[in-house]
Every structure is written in structure tokens, then in C-alpha cells.
Amino acid sequence: MATHILNNRCTDALVRAAPEQHLLHVARPTVYRCRMTSKKIVWTIIAVAAAVAIGLVLRTKRLRSISVRQSISIEGAVIQRDNDTKKQLPIADVAITASDGVTTATTRSEASGYFKLVLKRGVLSGTPIMVSFRHPSYEPLNFDVQTARLETPDQLYIAAMIPIPPKAVARSNRPEIAVSNIRVRYTINSRTDTNVGSAVKTFQVVNTGNVPCNNQAPCSPDGKWKASSASASLDAGADNTFSNVRASCIAGPCPFTRIDSSGFIHGGRNITVSALDWSDTTTFLMEAEVYHTAISSNVRQLYPVIFGRTLNFTLPPTQEGVSLEAEIDGSPMVFPLGPALNLSWATCTVRTDTEKEKTAVYGCELKPGYRF
């Protein structure tokens, strides 16, 4: 008997001959029987499924990437051009346009100078995008955003605009008026609570001890003894509240009582104390502190920061009644700003920060004929 072995692959059919039997040997191909185990089948299915899943994921990412590239975002800020970085003030309400000759997007800068444009365009377009900035008080500004065929550089763009010089005015022989000793005055309103006294009240819960309950409420917590309940209330009055409320049993068999604190635990103008007694009569004491609530106004002052012909200052979001105190040619004066921000000697603007604090940022530039 002859056996052919193929390692890890197949086994051939076994050819047997009976003893003393003569066989005519004919050349023929050897036929192998190959068997695949169930374990190999499972691993093959897993490999195929994994390859299909990876292909789908890669295809989805490619489609998403192409879709994102079709929307080009141009983000930045507009500021005033100046060699002194302290004078590079943000410019609001600048008309901004971006175009590649086919698609156009427009927006206006915010009070902080921030802008963002989103331009829809074809995936394979490599045409530069021209961005223009226009404001009546500044010279026109244009620049190109270079783009590749499938992507756009991701960066922040700073547009520094040159201010248009004011029209020449015939000089007056009168010297410039000096503005000095400038202070900012404003009011902050705050809520204050002032302790104006205390409140005291006693009450009793009348009951007879050692009386079975027999399921006739109210009963003791274990349901064994007959109980009684009582309560007392207090009113602090208008614009007043109770705080630090306390309630205690002060006389009688106090171990067999229970106080319900749900009516006074949070304080407030009206409070209520309830008590349960399942023994003999007990006495309770309720005490609390009384606070009066009022709105108080505090006047505050600060000094602005001056760069060149512009003064700057910031105020909290709760400020009211903003005014500027200054000496004009040595004479002290008060200038309420008001909503229109009108000043005889300066042009003022205000913007609110987008951060959580919502700080108000003021800037006032001197008018011709005045100096700091």
C-alpha cells in the first residue's frame, strides 16, 4: 500500500492491491481529495467581511472629505492699520465680499472686527478667491486667497485697512482745547439682604399617651400608638424673608415626637412647622432670622487708557448711567454718554465681547480742535 501526503493541504486516495494479484499498471493522474475544515471556512468569511467593511469606510471618508472641500471657509478680523500695535483698533461694519468669478459670498464684520465667509465652489477648481473689504472711512482693500485643486490653506486672515485722512479744514488761529483729568463714572445695582431681626413662636401638640392606634390615623411611625399633630406658621412681611429657621421640642416626652421640616427648610417669606406626638402633650419652639431685601446702587469710577487721540475703557455688563468727567480747558464738566454715545469733544463707539462675561468695550476718538 502506498500513501501520498500533502502537508496542511490534501490527502490522496489510497490504492490497495490484494495479495498475489497481478495488476496492469496504467499511467494515470493522481487524484487528491481536499477537505476544508469548518474553522478555515469561518476565518475566510471573517476576512472577506472585514475587507468589505474597510472598503466602505474608506469610500465614506473620501466622499465626506470631498464634500467638505466644496465649502471653503475664510475667517479673520479687520483692524485699523498702524505701526503702533496699540492703535490697531477693530473695525466694525466693513462690507466683505469673496468671489472666485463664479460663486460669491458676502458678510459684514462684527463689532470686534471678526468676520467669516463660507464660499460654495466646485471640487476641482483651483481658481484664487478674491476677497474685498469696503468701508466709507477706510481705503479699499483686496487680497487673494490661493487655493489648490482639492484643498484650501487653513489659516486666519487679518485685514489691516488704512484710514482715509479727514478733509483739510482751514486752520483756526485758536489753539486746540485741552481735555484732561478724565474719569469714567458709572453705577452698579446690586441686591442686598440685611438682617432686621428675628421671629420666635411656640406651639403645643396635645395628646394622651399609651392609647392604641387601632388603625385610626394619625398614629406613631410604627403604627402602634394613637398620635396627634399640630403646626405653626410665620409671615416675614413684604420684601422680607426668613433664614436659618430652627424648630425643636422643648418640653414633654420629646423622644416620642417627630418634626416635619419640609415647610421651612428653604426659608422664604412664609414658613410652617408641623409636629407629630404619640405620647403625652409636648411643646415646640420655632425660631428664625428675618432679612430685608433691597436694591442698592453703588457709584464707581475708573480711569481710561489713552493711546494717541483715542481713549479706551471697559465696563461690566451690569453697569448703568455711564458718564465721563473731564476738565475742558481747566473747567470741570460731566458728560453723560447715553445710548447714542454723544460727546461734544470725541466720537465714541462701544462693542460687547462675545465671551461669557459680556464686557462692554468703549473707544472715544478726539474730534478736531481738541487734544489730550
196 with 286, same domain? yes
Q: What domain range includes position 58?
A: 38-69
- In a domain? residue 212: yes
Answer yes or no: is pLDDT of 169 > 60.
Answer: no
92 with 119, same domain? yes
For residue 231, give the C-alpha cell. 403646626
When divided into structural domains, the chain yields a total of 4
Q: Please state which of the ranges 111-125, 155-169, 313-327 shows the lowest mean pLDDT.
A: 111-125
pTM for the predicted model, two decimal places: 0.52
Q: How do residues 27-57 score in pLDDT, each as one tens digit?
A: 444 444 445 566 677 777 787 778 877 877 6
Q: Which residue, of 295, 316, 350, is where some domain finishes?
A: 295
**CA pair distance 58, 41, nearest whole angstrom:** 26
65 with 75, same domain? no
pLDDT range class, residue 60, cuts 50, 70, 90: low
* Residue 46 Cα distances to 43, 55, 57, 231, angstroms: 5, 14, 16, 74
Compute the average pLDDT of residues 205-234: 92
pLDDT range class, residue 134, cuts 50, 70, 90: very high
Contact present, 74 and 132 (Cβ < 8 Å): no
Decide which of 259 and 128 is more confident: 259
pLDDT range class, residue 175, cuts 50, 70, 90: confident
* Highest mean pLDDT, choosing among 41-45, 97-101, 259-263, 294-298: 259-263
97 with 62, same domain? no
Percent of the chain scored above 70 by pLDDT? Answer: 80
Average per-residue pLDDT in the chain? 81
Answer yes or no: is pLDDT of 123 > 50.
Answer: no
Answer yes or no: is pLDDT of 140 > 70.
Answer: yes
- By CB atoms closer than 10 A (0-12, 13-18, 19+), residue 124 is exposed
- In a domain? residue 336: yes
249 with 287, same domain? yes
Q: Which residue, of 280, 295, 310, is where some domain finishes?
A: 295
- In a domain? residue 14: no
Q: Please state which of the ranges 5-14, 118-127, 358-367 shows the lowest mean pLDDT.
A: 5-14
